[in-house]
Amino acid sequence: MYEIESKNDENSKKEYYSMDTGKILLIGKDYCNLELLEHQLMSFSEEWRIKVKLFHDSVYELNNTHHDLVIIDFGGSPEKLLKKIEIVKKSHQNHNTPILVCFVEKSAKLIKTMLEAGALDFIQKPFKPIELFARVRTALILSSTVKKLNHQADVIRESQNKVNEIISGLLPKKIIDELTVSGESRPKKYREASVLFVDLVDFTKKSTTLAPKILIDELTQIFNAFDSIIKKNGCTRIKTMGDGYLAVSGIPTPHKQHAVKLIQTAIDMRAYLSQRNESNAVKWELKIGIDSGEVIGSILGTNNFLFDIFGDTVNTAARMEKTCAPNQINIGMRTYLSTRDKFRYIERLPNDVKGLGVKNMYYLKSKINSSHLNRWQQ
């Protein structure tokens, strides 16, 4: 499809026509010959838009305006012809535009040079009108077809990018790469990882008083911010569960500082929500639970893929969150032991956790290199 100014519209609205309205650029060294060629093309009564340029004026035109066909009126050596075709092929706007070459002498060497350089076809002079018309029309049909294919390729590429974006929100990149290469991702046991659960306090109560759109907008903004924090600290979001948020560190890519990274993530999440509350009409508090240890990670399902995590560490982190006070970060003993040289903690009384027995717990106080107490411990 080609865009032209409508001749019948007094407001000069743009309409779309078939390839008959193709843009043709004629280039050569003899302006009289070019005008004769232009006159011959116009005699076919097609709605072709034709522009004439001498060789020395054509470079700017080729680099700045796309045409559907370039016709080179040439008389000279094969070497010079090669250079003219090369100029078209290297131009910014017409490197894929079909090229027809007009010449008087038809030699095997000239035709071979022309085709090897990238020209589509040739037209021998003096022109036979029916041959000229057929060659030009065929070239424009090809140009139109290539345009349509390129457009379809762009649509497919855009759709694929959207699909990839959606998948990347559901699965860790390393798991996506495994599925792409081998078609499967087997369950793995990660011996050293950390798990974080976040819960928004009084979400159920707020859900009965806030309009659905406001509630969803609030969750979207908060979880988008959490996603950015997760990415910044090199961790991985596993999933959201209503008002809950589950993330890991050390999965699927192991990292020695997995616990430190996830604690920093928790600190950043709490700070973000506190800052947001200063200017936001709806105020939120959160509870965060973290534990470290062995975790099993696996793809669930064969049609609707979901990467999930399992094990005692996951269960303990969930219980850390459930037994946490608002705006606190509750740490399990294994996380505490691996990070006590980097963070200060307040030890809590051992808590009898449902299904897990008595567990030691610690509230995060501050970083070792920070002398001040945070606002939640003052």
Q: In angstroms, rounded to a whole number, what is the distance separating the alpha carbons of residues 375 and 378?
A: 5
Phi, psi of 115 (to 5 degrees): -70, -40
Residue 371 banded pLDDT, cuts 50, 70, 90: low
User: Who wins on pLDDT, 296 or 357?
Assistant: 296
Q: Which of these three, 136, 154, 172, is where a domain ends?
A: 154
Residue 184 banded pLDDT, cuts 50, 70, 90: low
Give the residue among 129, 101, 138, 125 at the shortest CA–CA distance from 26. Answer: 101
Percentage of the chain with pLDDT > 70? Answer: 89
Is this structure's pTM higher than 0.85? no
Angle at 257 between CA 252 and CA 376, to 5 degrees: 110
Mean pLDDT of 51-72: 93
Mean pLDDT of 152-157: 91
Which domain CATH number covers 203? 3.30.70.1230
**Residue 374 CB coordination number (10 Å):** 17
* pLDDT tens-digit map of 4-13: 333 344 443 3
Q: In angstroms, rounded to a whole number, what is the distance separating the alpha carbons of residues 44 and 40?
A: 7
Instruction: State residue 169's pLDDT score.
Output: 65
User: Who wins on pLDDT, 124 or 11?
Assistant: 124
* pLDDT tens-digit map of 327-345: 999 999 999 999 999 999 9
Same-domain pairing of 229 and 352: yes
Pair 105, 66: CB distance under 8 Å: no
Q: Residues near 62 by Cβ (< 8 Å), separated by ≥ 6?
A: 25, 70, 87, 88, 91, 92, 93, 94
* pLDDT tens-digit map of 49-59: 999 999 989 99
Domain that holds residue 257: 188-367
Same-domain pairing of 269 and 350: yes
* pLDDT tens-digit map of 189-235: 999 999 999 999 999 999 999 999 999 999 999 999 999 999 999 99
Domain count, the chain: 2
Instruction: State residue 186's pLDDT score.
Output: 78
In a domain, 2, yes or no: no
Instruction: State residue 303's pLDDT score.
Output: 66
